[in-house]
Amino acid sequence: MDRRVTVAILGATGRVGQELLKVLEQRDFPVDQLKLLASARSKDTTVTFKGKDYAVTEPTAESFKGVDIVLSSAGEAISKEWVPIAVEQGAVVIDNTNAYRMEPMVPLVVPEVNAHVLHKHNGIIANPNCSTAQLVVVLKPLHEAAGLERVIVSTYQSVSGAGKEAMDELEQQTRATLNDQEFKPQVFQRQIAFNLIPHIDKFLDNGYTKEEMKVVNESRKMLEIPDLPITCTAVRVPVVISHSESVTVDLKRALSPAQAREILADSPAIEVWDNPDEALYPTPLDAVGEDPVYVGRIRRDTSSQTGLNLWVVADNLRIGAALNAVRIAEYLLKHNLLKQAAKIADSAAK
């Protein structure tokens, strides 16, 4: 990647925005100019990137002029307001919100799973839900090897998936509980300290939560299996960072646990930690700040002739958000795919 580009981060002071800056610096992404955008409450904030201080400003139409890539993590409503404007100005937007994921003409991408769809983008690229991102990284090689027949997933999602306020609430509520003090929930529906909450996002008419249906619908889209039988239960747990998942797959052709370990270990995005005799299996703490999706507890499903059970863990702020977005940006640069957005902007101007 010899070309250096102008990057804007929309939602720069949020938890994901801060992780985006960290990942850009760690991976030495070729940033020429950097624009940091956030709401009015952050307008006087200064952020350091590669030893240089940058002022955070409110987004305007002028903010996106000359920008090559926008990394958006500012919430669904803000994305819907500013993403079309950024695209009109010629930027490619990689959006971390739910605003565009299921739009038919918007690629929903985890590069290790379906990077090929990036060649058909129209200026907007969607980052999947954090729990879906780590799941499809594991499902893809299993599907290619033996064909997915059915998927059952239960998620154990950290509070960081709900933002900085949720992380603060867990800390404060834990301290209060340990000191026999009352602390009423403000971010979550119920107490999260020393508790589990089987309720992430709002409930839908079918009895599932919106979070659970994101896993279902986004997995089908990225795996390009529109009729994949898949079901999900999503649970919030008192963990700060990293999502864990218990995954059951029924396959069209049976794989032994040893075969599954070998297939998964061949993926550059996956690390297999699976030796229960040595207490070797991934936990949320193991994944914090790390790039791989970790898989362990690979075993036969005792209720199915072609089933496997797996335990999947990843840092949701990286795999499910910042790292995935930067990997998409790297792919766009490597394959010279930013020019498509410029063509869209030229057509709009005419």
The gap between the terminal CA atoms of the chain, to the nearest Å, is 31
C-beta separation of 337 from 5 below 8 A: no
Sorted by sequence, the CB contacts under 8 Å of residue 330 that are 6+ apart come out as 1, 27, 29
Task: Give CA 343 to chain center in angstroms.
Answer: 28
Q: Bridge partners of 80?
A: none
Q: Bridge partners of 8?
A: 35, 70
Task: Give CA 103 to chain center in angstroms.
Answer: 17
Task: For residue 188, give both structure tokens.
Answer: 């979550």
Angle of helix 210-223 relative to helix 130-146, nearest 10 degrees?
40
The region that residue 47 occupies, defined by phi over 0 for left and psi between -120 and 50 for alpha, beta otherwise, is beta
C-beta separation of 67 from 35 below 8 A: yes
**What residues are labeled active site?**
130, 243
Count of residues making up the chain? 350
Angle of helix 130-146 relative to helix 257-265, nearest 10 degrees?
120
